[in-house]
Amino acid sequence: MDSVIVAKGLVKKYKKFTLGPVDLEIPKGFSTALIGANGAGKTTLLDTICGIVAPSKGEVTYFGEITDIEEGETKERIGYQAAQGMYPMSWTPYDVAMANKLGFTGFHEERYWELCKKYGVASEGEKKQTLMKMSDGNRIRLCLAAVFARDTELLVLDEPGSNLDPLMRDRLCGQFREYLEEGDGEKTILFSTHNIADMENVTDYAILMYDGAVIESGFVNELCERYVLVSGERATFDKIKRSLLVEDRNMSTCFGFAKAEEKEKLEAAGTVVETPNLQQLCIFLLRYAEQQNS
Amino acid sequence: MRELCWSLWKQRWAFFAYVVMVAVGAGMIYQVMDGYSLFEMGYRTAFVLLQLIFMLLQRERFRIILRKESAHRFYRSMPNARKKEQKRFVWLDVYCAAMLAVLLTAGIIFKNEFVDGSVPFAMVVYFLVYVPTSRIIACVPYVWWMTELVFAAVFLFVPAFDISPMLCVGTAVAVGVINVLLYRFVRKLWDTED
């Protein structure tokens, strides 16, 4: 597997939170989702990878060879979009265009205004409406327009789907696919989310985070095949309790979650065993991590 | 050599403070020798120091604004972000030093004598124009600006200072224009340089 980013022993320490040590690889040419609850460290990890904040320890290798993000044109090749605080609130869409034009050589103003129009966020040359007066959703749209208007090889997007209406989220998924197809295996997307249901159809690779650590990662199909979703009657669940990682007994039908190795044993006990989808997998894995932590 | 220059540059405010102290001390000795009373001497020295203090305060305001601006993730996502941030602060010092020079020169040229009357005159120019224009270009707090404007009005209409209102307004406009142009120029430099 070719990796666009390789992080080794990455640590970022804050007063009340520590990320890592994190070891991870982001596969080249795919869309990778960083999934975790609020406060899991997704934004810190993305910020550390993109050089927004300096790591306390560890190393990140970019595009297979570069270890210093400030080196050469590395940042030109990375399109970064923050969930909030990306641009000063007093800026207008016009200021965003001008700043990007000054800051990045691969920024295409025409494409930016086209995307602004397409996303319904601003008309060409908009100089009056400041970001302060925009809704949260429109601010995200504007940031997305700016980042997609650049020539990049890697997009790092923090919560791109949050605050977007379903139609815009669908349009964003389309934009993801278009970007990856254009790249023909050379372009990569890394995005964070705490609600994977909205972006599941554009996720090829998933990284799950809990309390500043990576708890699981892999290609979605492989990842889902590592675990099984179990359902059955209460009495049956008493017998298979030891094989389950997490169980949910609040309903008449009980649900549980186990490793794929236990499949035969669980089926023999008379439970229904299925392969989970990504959303189910995330919920149960995060619950398992929470359970282990408490 | 580069390291030596850098360490000297980092100490620049200590050098600046030293130069100011020497200048003020020399000014005081000169005034005493020239027969000024202790009160007059103290009053004039206080004005020079006040002007410097205000300039440093103004610099601090700009620094806070710059720091806030640099904290936005967009700036940090740009190539050479940290280097650019450091250079901005250097440019800020250049701007402040140039502006201080403009203010003092305005006081000296227009009154033609530094000691008698030109210090309060320079203060008027500073309060009346430099602060408001700085507010416009860098969004300094509104209340602060209003307080300083009241001070300006007090200075302008105290007859003891013998300041011509027309001269004040004329100089004020000139200094205001220089301030905005200089700021725009410096801003352009730090925005466009690599």
> What is the per-residue pLDDT for A6?
92
Question: What per-residue confidence (pLDDT) applies to A258?
Answer: 83
Q: Per the CB < 8 Å rule, is A75 touching B79?
A: yes
Cis peptide before A21 (omega within 30 of 0): yes
Verify whether the Cβ–Cβ distance B81 to A86 is below 8 Å: no
| Interface residues of chain B, partner chain A, Cβ below 8 Å | 69, 71-74, 76-83, 139, 191-192
Asked if A279 has any chain B CB less than 8 Å from its own CB, the reply is no
B71 domain residue, yes or no: yes
Please check whether residue B112 lies inside any domain of the structure: yes
Contact B83 A70 (CB under 8 A): yes
The pLDDT score that the predictor gives to residue B142 is 47
* Higher-confidence position of B193 and A60: A60
* CB contact (8 A) between residue A70 and residue B79: yes
CA distance B85 to chain A (A): 13
**Domain containing residue B175:** 44-192
Q: In this predicted model, what pLDDT tens digit does every residue of A130-150 receive, in sequence order?
A: 888 888 888 888 999 999 999
Count of CA atoms in the C-beta half-sphere (13 A) of B18: 5
Question: What's the token pair of residue A214?
Answer: 């990576």
Q: Is A276 left (phi over 0), alpha (psi -120 to 50) or beta?
A: beta
Q: Which residue of A has its CA nearest to B65?
A: A88
Task: Find the closest chain B residue to A97 by CA distance.
Answer: B74
pLDDT at position A225: 87
Q: How many distinct structural domains can be found in chain B?
A: 1
Nearest chain B Cα distance for residue A93, angstroms: 14
Q: What is the mean pLDDT of residues A166-193?
A: 89
pLDDT at A207 over 90: yes
Closest-CA distance, B82 to chain A, in angstroms, reads 8
DSSP H stretches of helix in chain A: 42-49, 74-77, 93-103, 109-118, 136-148, 166-183, 220-225, 234-240, 263-268, 278-293
Contact A73 B77 (CB under 8 A): no
**Burial of A153 (C-beta count, 10 Å sphere; 0-12/13-18/19+):** middle
- In a mutational test of the B interface, the residue from A52, A84, A101, A132 whose CB has the highest number of chain B CBs within 10 Å is A52
CATH of A3-222, picked from 3.65.10.10, 3.40.50.300, 3.30.465.10, 3.30.420.40, is 3.40.50.300
| Residue B180, in any domain of the structure | yes
* Domain spans, chain A: 3-222, 226-293
Task: Return the pLDDT at B115.
Answer: 44
Model confidence at B112, pLDDT cuts 50, 70, 90, reads very low
Distance CA B191, CA B194 (A): 8
pLDDT for residue B184: 67
Interface contact B81-A75, CB threshold 8 A: yes
Report chain A's mean pLDDT, rounded to a whole number.
Answer: 86
Looking at per-residue pLDDT, the higher value among B140 and A293 belongs to A293
Residues of B in contact with A87 (CB under 8 A): 72, 74
Q: What are the pLDDT digits (tens) for B142-186?
A: 444 455 555 555 555 544 455 565 666 666 666 666 766 766 666
- Which segment, A179-188, B89-98, B171-180, is predicted with the most confidence on average? A179-188
pLDDT of residue A65: 84
In this predicted structure, the answer to whether residue B15 has a pLDDT above a threshold of 70 is no
Distance from CA of A232 to the nearest CA of B (A): 49
Chain B residues whose CB is inside 8 A of the A90 CB are 139
Task: Identify the pLDDT of residue B18.
Answer: 63
Long-range pairs for B90-98 at CB < 8 Å and ≥24 separation? B90/B9, B91/B186, B91/B189, B91/B190, B92/B59, B92/B62, B92/B63, B92/B66, B92/B186, B93/B12, B93/B59, B94/B186, B95/B62, B95/B182, B95/B183, B95/B186, B96/B55, B96/B58, B96/B59, B96/B62, B98/B182
CA B142 – CA B140 distance, rounded (Å): 6
pLDDT band at A209 (very low <50, low <70, confident <90, very high): very high
Q: What's the rounded mean pLDDT across residues A185-206?
A: 87
Q: What is the pLDDT of residues B24-56, one digit of tens each?
A: 666 666 666 666 666 666 666 666 666 667 667
Mean pLDDT calculated for residue range A249-256:
75
Mean pLDDT of A256-281: 82
Contact flag B81-A51 (C-beta cutoff 8 Å): yes
Chain B neighbors of A80, CB-CB under 8 A? 73, 77
Whether residues A86 and B192 touch (CB distance < 8 A) is answered with: no
Per-residue pLDDT for A45 more than 50? Answer: yes
Domain assignment present for residue B143? The answer is yes
B81: chain A residues, CB-CB within 8 Å: 51, 70, 75
Phi-psi bin for A67: left (phi > 0), alpha (psi -120 to 50), beta? alpha
What's the whole-number mean pLDDT along residues A43-72? 85
Is A82 in Cβ contact with B81 (below 8 Å)?
no
Chain A residues 17-76 with CB within 8 Å of chain B:
47, 50-53, 70, 73-76
Q: Which residue from A44, A60, A33, A63 is spatially nearest to A213, judged by alpha carbons?
A: A44
Closest by Cβ to A103, choosing from B73, B78, B139: B78
A-chain CB neighbours of B72 within 8 Å are 85-88
In a domain, B32, yes or no: no
Residues of B in contact with A99 (CB under 8 A): 74
Find chain A residues with C-beta within 8 A of B71's C-beta.
85
The answer to whether residue A250 scores a pLDDT higher than 80 is: no
**Is there a contact between A276 and A220 (Cβ–Cβ < 8 Å)?**
no
Strand, coil or helix: B124: helix
Q: Which residues of B are less than 8 Å from A131 in CB distance? A: none
Q: Which amino acid is at A80?
A: Y
Q: From the list B69, B72, B80, which residue is nearest A70 (CB)?
A: B80
Q: Please report whether residue B22 resides in a domain.
A: no
* B193, pLDDT greater than 50: no
For position A188, what pLDDT does the model report?
93
Chain B partners within 8 Å of A47 (Cβ): 73
The per-residue pLDDT for A153 is 92
Mean pLDDT for the stretch of residues B110-124: 52
Condensed to tens digits (0 to 9), the pLDDT of residues A79-111 reads: 999 887 788 887 888 888 888 887 788 899 999
Quote ipTM for the complex: 0.72
- Structural contact between residues A7 and A22, judged by C-beta atoms closer than 8 angstroms: yes
Pairs across A and B, CB distance < 8 A: 46
Token digits of residue A207: 């990284």
With contacts defined as CB-CB under 8 Å, which chain A residues touch B69?
88
